Amino acid sequence: MEHTFDIVIVGAGGGGLFAALEAIRTDPKVSVAVVSKVYPTRSHTSAAQGGVNAALGNKDRDDTVELHVFDTVKGSDYLADQDAVAYLCSQAPQVVRELENLGAPFSRFPDGSIAQRPFGGTVKDRCCYCADKTGHTILHTLFEQCLRRGVKFFNEYFLLSLEHDGGECQGIIAMNMRTGAIETFSAQIVILATGGHAKMYWNRSSNAAGNTGDGQAAALRAGISLKDMEFIQFHPTGLRKSGLLVTEGARGEGGYLLNRHGERFMARYAPQKMELGPRDVVARSMETEIIKGNGFDSDAGSYIELDLRHLGAEAIKKKLPQIRELSMHFEGIDPIEEPIPVRPTAHYSMGGIDTTMAKTAVRGIYAIGECACVSVHGANRLGGNSLLDILVFGKRAGQEAACEAPQRKALGITPAAVRRAADEIRSYASHERYERYGIIREELGRTMGDNVGIYRTGERLRQGVDAIRQLRRRFRHIRLYDTGTVYNTNLIQILELKNMLDLALCVAVTALERQESRGSHYREDFPLRDDAIWHKHSLCTMGEDGDIQLGNRAITMGMYPLEARSY
């Protein structure tokens, strides 16, 4: 089947939906399609608990956009592009209010204004929230508004490839998961909004099963570069057994982190901000405590305790109901009565498709949200800035796409490209193949956790790079056991694994290359930040042979000069 639209958006998370909505609001005449491998409301935006940052000044009256910019730049360890950060923070109050105007049910202060709570790494309390279901309510609100505007959805379609003629966008090729049919979507504009890739750490990750970076991998294979891939954020508080997330809001509301001596050890690492230091600092401090033997021991590994008991039953039930539910379901613990066992978990990908204010190097191809790297998060994202990122740049991409689409020609997708996609899928079912999906994926997760984790060294990273290369070779023999065409989840798993392997290699090689410590990237063999050499973005491109080539890009500075980062 061949589809033709002015704008095709891949991904129906908060970023993709806001882009779709905005494109239609900007110009109701443009035709917009949203293609997503899961039903829109299943997208991982739904998992965001804590909130979204905006300097509304409802809590701290003296909060300003400039302070938000400062926190973000400092949080990024000065790797973010300051023009992009300035745009992000200046648009924040407007997009949050707009979302509220469209029906998002934010929690309120007694005067009726949007409530704000403290979040990590900020000098003012500016995180707007809806209890601990912020992402869920934002996603549903955007989905509702898209239904209202008649946005056309192609749900359960899987992106196979991104097509362009060398300089201009042609569209995408996707598989209809219900029928197995390969379908083309010609479009003047494609907006990639496929979410993050931190699931490559598998059960050491807080991410949904499908956060496999499909858009990033498609872009990489289409010759578009990826930026700052070595930066993966580890969230301090993943549940011990599952890696599932306990929001930073739990510490924002006053939760303590305790080691097995009952000590609030953050006093030794971030004496001022304590538990609310930025994520990289808190996660590393916890890991250090565990390595020193100060963690609690259990069958499921060592852990730290997150103690909420002193907040009281009332506050826990009202402000952190989901956390309570998760703790009960997955750890069998009621946080009103017992501390929650936690340890750091791979959580967010700061790196992604290289964009300048949402645009890639190919005309007509945009990327936004967690799959993109603008870069506003640099080496470490602040909690609450990612929802903001998807809203602000989703909106911008939607507006620009609606203006740009009518000025561009539809180029169409070549039959050769469709044949390539079909051949690849057919090849997986060959009887000569023997490698199993589960085993390769398991080994990838382990390698990433062990060799490309929170603490990194040149030696371990080299082992990691070798191991991933080896796994990519083995992947060539992977066997598709399900040969049906109706909703073949076995095939989807294999396609996702291929994407994770390509991206994992990018993460590992850039981490090995960067011989300094900055934000989430911590090298035991190079423990200091080295601005003279490494104050620059890293770039990855894929060569003809499928290997990764490296490059660099200067950072755009602005109001805030380089400074040492302490909390």
Partner 1 sequence: MERREVSFRIQRYNPQVDQTPFYDNFKIAVEKGITILRVLNHIKEQLEPRLTFRAFCQAGICGSCAVRVNGISKLACTTQVWDELTGGGDDPILIEPLSNLPVIRDLLVDIDPVIEKLRQNQGWVVPSIPEEKMGFKEHAVSDDEFEVINAATDCILCGSCYSECSMMGVNPRYISPPVLLKTFRMNNDTRDTDGDERLRRVTADHGLWDCTHCYRCVEHCTKNIPIMDGIHRLREEAFERGMTGSEGARHAQAFFDDTRNTGRLREVTLPLRTKGVTGSFGMLPLALKMALKGRTPPLFVHRIAGIERIREIYRKLEK
Ligand X SMILES: Cc1cc2nc3c(=O)[nH]c(=O)nc-3n(C[C@H](O)[C@H](O)[C@H](O)COP(=O)(O)OP(=O)(O)OC[C@H]3O[C@@H](n4cnc5c(N)ncnc54)[C@H](O)[C@@H]3O)c2cc1C
Positions annotated as catalytic residues are 279
Which residue, 248 or 280, is less far from partner 1 as judged by CB? Answer: 248
Which residue, 172 or 465, is less far from ligand X as judged by CB? Answer: 172
What CA–CA distance (Å, rounded) separates 100 from 141? 9
Of 131, 130, 143, give the one whose Cα is nearest residue 102.
143
> What single DSSP character describes residue 57?
-
What CA–CA distance (Å, rounded) separates 548 from 359? 22
237 binds ligand X (CB under 6 A): no
367 binds ligand X (CB under 6 A): no
Contact string 100-139 vs ligand X (x = CB under 6 A): ----------------------------------xx----
Collapse the DSSP code of 246 into the 3-class scheme (helix H, G, I; strand E, B; otherwise coil) and give the result.
coil
485 binds, among ligand X, partner 1, none (CB under 5 to 8 A by kind): partner 1
Contact residues for 444 (Cβ-Cβ < 8 A; gap 6+): 200, 202, 468, 471, 497, 500, 501, 504
36 binds ligand X (CB under 6 A): yes
383 binds ligand X (CB under 6 A): yes
Q: How many chain residues touch partner 1 (CB under 8 A)?
A: 65
Which of 222-230, 256-264, 378-386, 409-417 is the region at the interface with ligand X (rule: CB under 6 A)? 378-386
Of 119, 184, 240, give the one whose Cα is nearest residue 414.
184
125 binds, among partner 1, ligand X, none (CB under 5 to 8 A by kind): none
26 binds partner 1 (CB under 8 A): no
Which of 187-195, 428-436, 442-450, 452-460 is the region at the interface with ligand X (rule: CB under 6 A)? 187-195
375 binds ligand X (CB under 6 A): no
Half-sphere exposure of 332 (CA within 13 A, CB side): 1
308 binds ligand X (CB under 6 A): no
Half-sphere exposure of 46 (CA within 13 A, CB side): 12
- Binding test (CB under 6 A) with ligand X, winner from 7, 45, 89, 141: 45
**Residues in 277-306 that interact with partner 1 by CB under 8 A:** 299
Strand runs labelled E in 269-408: 304-307, 340-349, 352-354, 365-367, 372-373
76 binds, among ligand X, partner 1, none (CB under 5 to 8 A by kind): none
Q: Give the bridge partners for 367, in sequence order.
A: 192
334 binds partner 1 (CB under 8 A): no
What CA–CA distance (Å, rounded) separates 345 from 205? 5
Contact string 475-514 vs ligand X (x = CB under 6 A): ----------------------------------------
Contact string 154-173 vs ligand X (x = CB under 6 A): ---xxx--------------
Tokens of 255: 């939760």
278 binds ligand X (CB under 6 A): no
387 binds ligand X (CB under 6 A): yes
136 binds partner 1 (CB under 8 A): yes
Which of 108-116, 182-190, 375-383, 421-429 is the region at the interface with partner 1 (rule: CB under 8 A)? 108-116
14 binds, among ligand X, partner 1, none (CB under 5 to 8 A by kind): ligand X
What CA–CA distance (Å, rounded) separates 331 from 308? 15
Q: DSSP assignment of 97-115, as one string?
A: HHHHHTT----B-TTSSBP
Collapse the DSSP code of 165 into the 3-class scheme (helix H, G, I; strand E, B; otherwise coil) and give the result.
coil
**Residues in 213-272 that interact with partner 1 by CB under 8 A:** 241-242, 244-245
358 binds ligand X (CB under 6 A): no
CB 96 within 8 A of CB 78: no
Of 242, 548, 227, give the one whose Cα is nearest residue 378.
227
194 binds, among ligand X, partner 1, none (CB under 5 to 8 A by kind): ligand X
332 binds, among ligand X, partner 1, none (CB under 5 to 8 A by kind): partner 1
Contact string 176-205 vs partner 1 (x = CB under 8 A): --x---------------------------
What CA–CA distance (Å, rounded) separates 24 from 5? 13
Give the Cα-Cα-Cα angle 494, 420, 408 (nearest 5 degrees).
Answer: 110
CB 396 within 8 A of CB 195: no
141 binds partner 1 (CB under 8 A): yes
Kindly report the number of other CB atoms within 10 A of residue 487's CB atom. 15
What CA–CA distance (Å, rounded) separates 234 from 444? 17
3-state class percentages of the chain: helix first, strand second, coil last, to nearest 5: 40, 20, 40
Contact string 28-67 vs partner 1 (x = CB under 8 A): ----------xx-xxxx-xx--------x-----------
**Residues in 85-104 that interact with partner 1 by CB under 8 A:** 94-95, 97-98, 100-103
Which residue, 214 or 404, is less far from ligand X as judged by CB? Answer: 214
159 binds, among partner 1, ligand X, none (CB under 5 to 8 A by kind): ligand X
Buried-state track 438-468, b at ≥16 Cβ within 10 A, e below 16: eebbebbbebbbebbbbebeeebbebbbebb
153 binds ligand X (CB under 6 A): no
Residue found under tokens 């598989």: 175
Find the radius of gyration of the CA atoms of the chain: 22
Contact residues for 19 (Cβ-Cβ < 8 A; gap 6+): 9, 191, 193, 368, 394, 395, 397, 398, 401
Positions touching partner 1 (CB under 8 A) are 25, 38-39, 41-44, 46-47, 56, 94-95, 97-98, 100-103, 105-108, 110-114, 130-131, 133, 136-137, 140-141, 144-145, 147-148, 155, 178, 208-210, 241-242, 244-245, 299, 322, 325-326, 329-330, 332, 437-438, 481-482, 484-490
Positions touching ligand X (CB under 6 A) are 10-16, 35-38, 43-45, 47-52, 134-135, 157-159, 193-196, 206-207, 214-215, 245, 247, 347-348, 369-371, 383-387, 390
